[in-house]
Amino acid sequence: MPVSNTAINDIEKKQLNTVFRRLKRSIAPSCSGDDIKKINLAYKVAYEGHAMQRRKSGEPYLFHPLEVARICYEEIGLGPTAIVCAILHDVVEDTPYTLEQIVKNFGPKIGLIVDGLTKLDGMYNNFESPQAENFKKVISTLVEDVRVVLIKMADRVHNMRTLGAMPRHKQLKIAAETEYIYAPLAHRLGLYKLKTEFQDIIMRIQEPEVYEELQSKLEATERQRNKYIKEFISPLRETLDETGVSFRVLGRPKSISSIYNKIQTKKVPFEEIYDLFAVRVILDVESAREKTACWQFYSIITDVYRPIPERLKDWITTPKGNGYESLHTTVIGPKGKYVEVQIRTERMDEIAERGFAAHWKYKGVKSQSSVFDIWLDNVRDILDTSNSDALEFVNDFKTNLFSEEVYVFTPKGDMRILPQGATALDFAFDIHSEVGYHATALKVNNKLVPMGYELQNGDQVSVTTSKNQKPTEDWLKIVVTGKARSKIRSSMKEERRKQGELGKEALMRKLKSMKAPFEDNVDILVKHFETTSRAELFYAIAMEEINPSTDFKIFKVVDHKLVLKEESNPEKPIQQGDPEDTKAALERRIRKTNAKILVNGEPADTYGYSFGHCCNPVEGDSIFAYLTNWAGLKIHRTNCKNATNLLANYGYRVLKAEWVGDMKNNFIVDLVVTGVDSGIGVIQKITERISVQLGINIRSFSIAGDEGYFEGKIGVVVMNTDQLNQAIKALREIEGISNVVRIEKTE
């Protein structure tokens, strides 16, 4: 967003003109004369509109749309229309230019895309989650013109690359939004390069110390890795050359974020991650020979190096749902090291790097068009479902951004791609909404299975239906796909609406008998009975959860309005549910502490606060404050498992928080210690190192060993993160201990 009103000076004008001319030169070969005219006009409009605006860094704002346009062309592969829209993408939102003027000057197609890129006006006053409403608007344009989302992706890439000028609490919000929707969306659109960059920048913001540590370790081993890659490919090259196929070999280190994810999931240190890099073999071969050539190269490589069969991934025969094609295998290379090898063609590599945009370049090759058409049909189904709740919509949509897939088949042999974890009932809805609504029995491989049966690769599924079958609330616990969830929810809402009509009629009759006008009193009843809406009140009456004959006896009518008969029993205020806490959790007493925390520069005690039980912050942790509906402020760690959802969807409730002063408070942290069970004094070594040498109190200790392996859970009482890190380091130094991990959730 623009932050100042300082005009562009002469030097900056020259710099902008240079950047624009460079952009025009690069895109000229793919442009017609009319395209160039529109690009020139777009620059003129953007220059006039943004002339007095600057970014947080102080540079003229116009540099941003020009860089977004460059990313669209060079990194995503979009054409002239997208370049025009990228240059104009902030004009309607941030300048006096209107959408009508854009349509008049550039036509309805560009107007539609620019409109999709423009945020909702006044959204912060009208919606529970303005971010979700904005996501919904952008996503709703996806099925009309996917370029909206691709330009939005380029916009987000540049914003993430230039986050350094923003204050940390703003960085955390933007990173959370990116992690919540943009990184998964980049994956689903096949933009692997951008997805990886998103994830690395997110980690750099959320876990700066860990990121820098891993980065330095990767840099320290770079020369060693490059030497190993040459050693790996050397015995292969002569045989590969004999095939007559032109190829190139790349050795790429895994991204820092993916390495960190392996460390977290496998619970091993950096030094024990064996696949820090992948060898990529890219073939230059015509489309008709692609599959044969890739398998030929696989055969040569596995003749030299022993493959690990379970690590073979054939995404050439069956491409991923986002169009990704490649042959992956892991072999045992020189010195016994595991090496991941990726074999693909130049076409496959371009699609893997540029995703959706590159896919259209090869439309018609190997039925490429169907890859995204099926996915877009699913998105369209969710959009077509009547659903006014933006948060529900975004969550349903997110399930369509899955990264792992299962391939299952209809009785006729047609393949369907579903997310890993999808159930037989998900399959029924994937076939057609009506099939899902009326599913009564499901068979997998000719055997009857429960609706919640988790599908496996290769399963053949058949569905039996009955017109009398209807979805129930329990079905929502069975399905995982966005399409199934939205359809079930929509069906249930329609059923509740029908039942609610009966309740409304009963309420109208009762109020009429009490001589209390319906419109004057219905909202009083909504508030008193703590229902979320009129529809919920009507439904509760229809289900006899509220009985007008008995429950209305506490009211009397004064001036045609319902009031309570006893003044000592005032109406209860409405309280909305909070996204992070259940009512039961919120009724617990707020834990009192003497810790000094500033929230937006003021003492947190002013607000009343407690620490999030989901992440248990310790003094020195990077934190933020979240304003709940029920329990004042909650203090969370910035890498809390709930942080992404809170920051992405409820950013307007998030406040800057920081530790201050010299505090002497105790925090309880649980650690998991794993290692080799030698049977010789493990407990004694741990307690001596922590309690005796470091003087840290142990609150709890449990340990179990099995077949040479042990895992222990230790609760320690520390004053801050420095003392915590000291304890973790000391434990890792004990012989036989392989890893020590801080537990996120505490009971």
Domain boundaries, the chain: 10-191, 214-354, 370-476, 490-558, 583-659, 667-742
**Is 50 exceeded by the pLDDT of residue 572?**
no
Q: Please write the tens of the pLDDT for every residue from 47-80.
A: 999 988 988 888 999 999 999 999 999 998 889 9
**CB within 8 A of 75, min separation 6: which ones?**
154, 157, 193, 194, 354
User: Of all residues in the chain, what percent carry a pLDDT higher than 90?
Assistant: 27
Stronger pLDDT, 46 or 572, i.e. the higher one: 46
Kindly state the DSSP code that residue 366 receives in the 8-state scheme: G
pLDDT at 424: 95
- The residue-averaged pLDDT of 171-190 equals 87
- Report d(CA 680, CA 257) in Å as an integer: 37
The dihedral built from the CA positions of residue 197, 202, 208 and 210, taken in this order, carries a sign that is negative
Please indicate whether the domains covering 214-354 and 370-476 agree at the CATH topology level: no
**Is 70 exceeded by the pLDDT of residue 592?**
no
**CB within 8 A of 454, min separation 6: which ones?**
421, 422, 423
Stronger pLDDT, 553 or 291, i.e. the higher one: 291
Instruction: Look over the chain and give the mean of its residue pLDDT values, rounded to a whole number.
Output: 83
pLDDT at 662: 59
Q: Which fold has domain 10-191?
A: Hypothetical protein af1432 (1.10.3210)
DSSP 665-690: --EEEEEEEEEE--SSSHHHHHHIII
From 204-208, 245-249, 579-583, the region with the lowest mean pLDDT: 579-583
pLDDT at 296: 95
* Number of neighbouring beta carbons within 10 Å of residue 598: 17
Q: Please name which of 132, 187, 136 lies closest in space to residue 400, comparing C-alpha atoms.
A: 187
pLDDT at 570: 41
Which pLDDT band, with edges at 50, 70 and 90, does 694 fall under? Answer: confident
From 269-283, 572-586, 708-722, the region with the lowest mean pLDDT: 572-586
pLDDT at 376: 73
**CB within 8 A of 516, min separation 6: which ones?**
557, 560, 561, 562
CATH number of 667-742: 3.30.70.260
Stronger pLDDT, 369 or 745, i.e. the higher one: 745
Does the pTM surpass 0.95? The reply is no
**Structural contact between residues 114 and 105, judged by C-beta atoms closer than 8 angstroms:** no
Which pLDDT band, with edges at 50, 70 and 90, does 590 fall under? Answer: very low
pLDDT at 140: 77
pLDDT at 4: 64
Torsion (CA) 113, 118, 122, 127 in degrees, nearest 10: 70
- The residue-averaged pLDDT of 641-659 equals 83
pLDDT at 125: 42
**Is 50 exceeded by the pLDDT of residue 137?**
yes
Q: Please write the tens of the pLDDT for every residue from 446-488.
A: 999 999 999 998 899 999 999 889 898 889 989 998 889 888 9
The catalytic residue positions are 93-94
**Structural contact between residues 620 and 669, judged by C-beta atoms closer than 8 angstroms:** no
Q: Please write the tens of the pLDDT for every residue from 604-626.
A: 777 778 888 888 888 888 888 88
Which pLDDT band, with edges at 50, 70 and 90, does 370 fall under? Answer: low
User: Of all residues in the chain, what percent carry a pLDDT higher than 70?
Assistant: 88
Domain 214-354, classified CATH 3.90.850.10, yes or no: no
Domain 370-476, classified CATH 3.10.20.30, yes or no: yes
Q: Please write the tens of the pLDDT for every residue from 242-259.
A: 889 999 988 888 889 988
Note the helical H segments in 543-608. Answer: 548-551, 583-586
The angle formed by the CA atoms of residues 567, 569 and 575, to the nearest 5 degrees, is 125
Q: First and final CA of the chain: distance in angstroms?
A: 41
pLDDT at 595: 47
Which pLDDT band, with edges at 50, 70 and 90, does 364 fall under? Answer: low
**Structural contact between residues 447 and 453, judged by C-beta atoms closer than 8 angstroms:** no
Rg, Å, the chain Cα set: 30
Q: Please name which of 164, 163, 152 lies closest in space to residue 191, comparing C-alpha atoms.
A: 152
- The residue-averaged pLDDT of 167-175 equals 88
Q: Please name which of 543, 540, 549 lies closest in space to residue 509, comparing C-alpha atoms.
A: 549
From 396-400, 577-581, 681-685, the region with the lowest mean pLDDT: 577-581
The dihedral built from the CA positions of residue 243, 245, 246 and 252, taken in this order, carries a sign that is negative
